[in-house]
Amino acid sequence: MAKLDILTYPDPRLHTVAKPVKEVDDRIRQLVKDMAETMYEAPGIGLAATQVNVHEQVVVIDVSETRDALQVFINPEIVWASDNRKVWEEGCLSVPEVYDRVERPDRVRVRALNEKGETFELDADDLLAVCIQHEMDHLLGKVFVEYLSPLKQNRIKSKLHKRERARM
């Protein structure tokens, strides 16, 4: 399996809207494996295909303590969201070492395809609900920092630009 490169905010490719997967085939299953390896190595708890410059609706998530409960969401859609909202501190593999508070529905129901191409629905709450919403935002071309004030967004961009220049 290949470890994929993760795009870093504010890379404009992170704002590309992902297209639905037409067929869950061996190419998509390999993408899922590569994304899972990349997510675990990073280390992270979720990764959207957009973050690895593949603009198709594929998400991998593992919020387990043991890192052995991979969940795959292909062409995910939220079919229900709670009116109750909760604030969580979020981070993102595309925005390294930046964490901030984002308010989202505290429970969601998502419908998607699994890696076999089978449709399923899942009710999620707590961290899994946050992670699903966060990763689905990526498929829509949105990064979590865009929920923050313009001032915070500019500070984050400056911080990441400085870090990038220091590496060169």
What does the alpha-carbon distance between residue 154 and residue 148 come to, in Å, rounded to a whole number? 10
Q: What residue numbers does the annotated binding site for Fe cation cover?
A: 92, 134, 138
CA angle 41, 155, 42 (to 5 degrees): 0
Q: Which of 41, 118, 135, 146 is catalytic?
A: 135
Residue 69, classed as helix, strand or coil, is coil
Active site residue 135: yes
Q: What residue numbers does the annotated binding site cover?
A: 92, 134, 138
What does the alpha-carbon distance between residue 143 and residue 162 come to, in Å, rounded to a whole number? 19
Residues facing 100 on adjacent strands? 90
Residues marked active site are found at 135
